[in-house]
Chain A
Amino acid sequence: MPALPLDEAGKYVAGAYIVFVVLIVVYVAIISAKIARIGRELEELNDLADRRRPS
């Protein structure tokens, strides 16, 4: 099969690399959300520990 012209092939190459970038971006977004949740939980636990501390 002859090679596709650049303008035609460019769409496919861009599509493949966009999939790759989207994979990374989505993963980073998910892991950021997880870290934010861990941070919130940590704050809650700090508050809980403060309340339990005998004054």
Chain B
Amino acid sequence: MYAKGLRPLSIATVVALAAALAMVFFYAPNDADQGFIQKIFYIHVPMAIVALGGFVAAAIMAIKHLRTGDRSWDLRSYVAIHMSIIFGLAVLITGSIWARASWGHWWVWDEPVLVSFLIVFLLYCVYYPLRFSIEDPDRQARYSSVFAIAAGAFVPLNFAAVRLAEAYTHPRVLSQTGGDLPGDMRLTFFVSILAIALLYVTMWKLELTSKRASAQLGRLRRRLEDGIEPPPAQPAGDPTAVGARSASAEPAS
């Protein structure tokens, strides 16, 4: 019931990922300047874009939560941040691998893009202790949403600040003029972004489905163990309506 649309989404993700990988290695030419190591950018940059987009999306979901009071938006926001943290970790690792190959160092502390991304990543790592140090579900959801909004506003500011920084050595893949990518490399790059975005949405939906199912099971267990009879079955049209509604108010765990 919660997994509605998950199957076509998963199939689309697998197809897009396969297409992206095939294009990266069999269609896109090697970069004239960087050579073969530029292939790392086809996963590194899309993951960074999607991770940062996920943080902003989480902020928007948190705003929805504070406006409506519906805790399902807080759960969505939490899962979006969770997924972006995972993607962010992969961005840092793949970026370090590229830096080692290209610059000879695993990490360069005076490079604004690297350091700013690390700051954003560490900022969001604080979200977990904040969220799970609050026991009251309402307060937990409210405080987490406030954090998600404040941190989400920081992401575009941080991005703009880095773009305005004059001294940088980090390559520009996308710019207002489309960057320096030739057509076939640009197409491969956009297919990679699409594939990574689909992967993010699939993982987000899968995680959300699993958390909601767990919450629903917990409620059912408590009802059965406490000896409270479950509510009467719904009409044939929507047998899950009551459960679905109550699950949406379940705190994230």
Which positions in A face B, CB cutoff 8 Å? 1, 3-6, 8-10, 12-13, 15-17, 19-20, 23-24, 27, 31, 34-35, 38, 41-42, 44-45, 48-49, 52
Contacts and interface: CB of A to CB of B under 8 A. Distances in A.
A16 B44 CA distance: 8
A12 B102 CA distance: 10
6 tightest A-B contacts by CB? A3-B35, A12-B101, A9-B36, A16-B94, A9-B37, A16-B40
Contacts of A44: 221
A51 to B, nearest CB: 9
Contact of B207 (A1, A31, A41): A31
Nearest to B33: A3
B101 A9 contact: yes
Interface in B210-253: 210, 213-214, 217, 220-221, 224-225, 227
Contacts of B44: 16
A46 to B, nearest CB: 10
Interface string B14-45: 00000000000000000101111101100110
B214 A4 contact: no
A44 to B, nearest CB: 8
B100 interface: yes
B interface residue count range (under 10 / 10 to 19 / 20 to 34 / 35 or more): 35 or more
B190 interface: no
B89 to A, nearest CB: 8
Q: Which of B89, B94, B217 has the most CB of A within 10 A?
A: B94
Contacts of A42: 217
Contacts of B227: 52
Interface of B: 31, 33-37, 39-40, 43-44, 47, 86, 89-90, 93-94, 97-98, 100-104, 199, 203, 206-207, 210, 213-214, 217, 220-221, 224-225, 227
A8 B102 CA distance: 11
A43 to B, nearest CB: 11
A45 B40 contact: no
A35 to B, nearest CB: 7
B214 A48 contact: no
B213 A38 contact: yes
B225 A48 contact: yes
Nearest to B41: A16
A10 B220 CA distance: 52
Nearest to B94: A16
A38 B214 CA distance: 6
Nearest to A51: B224
B81 to A, nearest CB: 15
A48 B217 CA distance: 13
Contacts of A52: 224, 227
